[in-house]
Chain A
Amino acid sequence: KAGVTQTPRYLIKTRGQQVTLSCSPISGHRSVSWYQQTPGQGLQFLFEYFSETQRNKGNFPGRFSGRQFSNSRSEMNVSTLELGDSALYLCASSLGTRYTGELFFGEGSRLTVL
């Protein structure tokens, strides 16, 4: 079956702009979570959506937001971009149940802020 698809794969923005990233989970998966990866901070959890509701949230400012649609596809938005937002943004999907042992990650969207 098809894996997790993230678009766009690469993008360049300037400070102050906003960006929207998209994630299509594996068919049948109801949970989508987002992670940020930077050389300095490593992999950090942003938030998780399950059945169109945010179920968990990491320690990121309100400029980072997300949503999930009825077909489980998810988008995340970063407003008023800062240089430090340059990172690889990873989306992961899972069944979202208690006994979910694994997350399936996409290949990420690499954002560069100039």
Chain B
Amino acid sequence: DAKTTQPTSMDCAEGRAANLPCNHSTISGNEYVYWYRQIHSQGPQYIIHGLKNNETNEMASLIITEDRKSSTLILPHATLRDTAVYYCIVRVQNTGTASKLTFGTGTRLQVTL
């Protein structure tokens, strides 16, 4: 799986959009970008994933650059409950290794009043 680089921490005011960047310059053509988050003392929670098109769901939007070397997770209206560590993971979608995720250190997002 390709290596990812994320900022260690970020702050965001409540109600504003939180934009979390991820660099994956060595990504291969068949690797997907996944985002998970982990709220303190809970298990990680899946947010969104994509291959090359931008994706949106009820939680967030994922913007992948045209060259796929980086991506941004957008939480449109951050709330205090979005305070968590956000992990960007790049991986091939393969049956045999589907559940083997390589978590990095992630970005600690602090949402403040």
Residues of chain A having any CB pair with chain B under 8 Å: 4, 31, 33, 42-45, 48, 55-56, 58, 88, 90, 92, 94, 96-108
Contact = CB atoms under 8 A, between A and B. Distances in A.
List the 9 closest A-B pairs by CB distance, nearest first.
A105-B43, A102-B46, A33-B99, A43-B103, A98-B95, A48-B99, A45-B100, A105-B44, A90-B43
Contacts of A4: 43
Contacts of A44: 103
Nearest to A48: B99
A94 B99 contact: yes
Interface residues of B, number: 23
B98 A108 contact: no
A31 B49 contact: no
Given A42-B105, A92-B43, A107-B42, A56 B99 contact: yes
A74 to B, nearest CB: 12
B45 interface: yes
Given A102-B49, A106-B43, A45 B101 contact: yes
B102 A45 contact: yes
Given A96-B98, A98-B93, A103 B103 contact: no
B61 to A, nearest CB: 16
Nearest to B47: A102
A108 B104 contact: no
Contact of B93 (A43, A45, A99): A99
B45 to A, nearest CB: 7
